[in-house]
Amino acid sequence: MNAVAESIHTLADLDAWTFPGTALALIGRPVAHSLSPVIHNAALAELAKSQPRFADWRYFKFDIAPAELPRALLLFQQNRFHGLNLTVPHKSLVVEHLAGSDAFVRAAGAANTLTRTGSGWRGTNTDGYGLASALQEDFGTELVGAHIILLGAGGAARGAAVECLRARCASLWIGNRTALRLAAFINEIAPLAGSTELRSFDLGQPPAGLPADATVINATSLGLGSADPSPIDLRTLPRPRAVYDMVYRPPRTALLRQAAELGLAHANGLSMLIHQGARSLGLWTGATVPVPAMQAAAHAALNPV
């Protein structure tokens, strides 16, 4: 069954869905790179060893275009999927289709985790938790008091920004390619800023005045393609403390290669994937999630013998 769970499904498969167990799924485009089915199915298999009720739970992967999202959500509901994760480009798009959401989703304007309810999908967002846990694990960095340079203004950046502001980072500089999208995003989150210095910039022209000793976080989708350029030239910034790329496949993006050349602490998005996924699975199952099983499965998938 895991081979089926890890292959890529489409909207057409939902019209003829016959899986008899409890189904979870990731929706995105592209999704081929995603290790979410690998880590979730490993955790479910581990849980099933001591709790047989999880033996028929599986996590699937669906390639869904933005225009297909409303119909897909309806079909996932009708086929009684228990929970959904969303990735590029659906995290912001999904919000208007939710029957309910928590304060984090309302602040970020983006959801990555949905749970089926009687009246539709309820959204939450575990990306911020996943990022905060990852920075702690990889760099020993706490968001409180930190200087953060965040690249991107899409769904993942929204979750990251809200977490940075809630945690009271010292400054949050957000750079994006499309100025209009960034301006709208900054307006939405400005009420959360409190004492945090919240600034925006054109990704193509990093300004003077960016903070030294910052943690640079890539939340653009640049890097998903193995030939993608880096979203920013690190040499144009004051020397950062660390560089985190939310992309984990490929594991060494152009941004991380440059960070290594410059002798900067750096890490890819695998740790964030694990921690946001563990938080989502915990919400869906109510169980204590076996994080080491997720980590082992991810490392095995990325480093096949």
Whole-Å CA distances, 303 to 35, 43, 129, 250, 299: 12, 19, 26, 12, 6
Q: Any contact of residue 153 with ligand NAP (CB under 6 A)? A: yes
- CA-nearest of 222, 221, 269, 274 to 243 is 269
Task: State yes or no: residue 89 binds ligand NAP (CB under 6 A).
Answer: yes
91 is catalytic: yes
Closer Cβ to ligand NAP, 23 or 35, answer by number: 35
Q: Which of 91, 122, 147, 266 is catalytic?
A: 91
d(CA 73, CA 84): 9
Q: Does 177 engage in binding with ligand NAP (CB under 6 A)?
A: yes
Q: Select from 27, 193, 267, 273 the one that contacts ligand NAP (CB under 6 A).
A: 273
Could you say whether residue 238 binds ligand NAP (CB under 6 A)? no
Q: Are 91 and 154 spatial neighbours (Cβ–Cβ below 8 Å)?
A: yes
Separation CA 35–CA 294 (nearest Å): 10
CA distances from 30 to 106, 195, 197 (A): 25, 38, 34
Question: Closest separation between CB of residue 223 and ligand NAP, Å?
Answer: 6
Task: Name the token pair of 136.
Answer: 């702690």
Is 176 a binding residue for ligand NAP by CB under 6 A? The answer is yes
Using the minimum distance from each CB to ligand NAP, give the nearer residue, 19 or 135. Answer: 135
Helix, strand or coil, per DSSP, at residue 65: coil
Residue from the set 6, 46, 68, 127 that interacts with ligand NAP by CB under 6 A: 127
Among 269, 279, 285, 290, binds ligand NAP (CB under 6 A): 269
Q: Check binding of 246 to ligand NAP (CB under 6 A).
A: yes
Dist. CA 102–CA 46, nearest whole Å? 29
Residues 237 and 137: beta-carbon distance below 8 Å? no
* Contact between 239 and 227 (Cβ < 8 Å): no
Contacting range for ligand NAP; rule: CB under 6 A; set: 37-45, 155-163, 187-195, 206-214? 155-163
- The answer to whether 123 contacts ligand NAP (rule: CB under 6 A) is no
8 A C-beta contact, residue 134 and residue 267 = yes
Among 272, 278, 289, 294, binds ligand NAP (CB under 6 A): 272
State yes or no: residue 87 binds ligand NAP (CB under 6 A). yes
Q: Which residue is nearest to ligand NAP (CB)?
A: 154
Minimum distance between the CB of residue 224 and ligand NAP, rounded to whole angstroms?
Answer: 5
Asked if residue 192 binds ligand NAP (CB under 6 A), the reply is no
Q: How far apart are CA 192 and CA 27, in angstroms?
A: 29
SS3 call for 150? strand
Least distance between ligand NAP and beta carbon 35 (Å) = 9
| Residue 58 to residue 251: CA distance in whole angstroms | 26
Residue 240 is classified by DSSP as P
Q: What residues make contact with ligand NAP under the rule CB under 6 A?
A: 87-89, 91-92, 127, 130, 152-157, 176-178, 181, 203, 219-222, 224, 231, 246-248, 269, 272-273, 276
Active site residues: 91
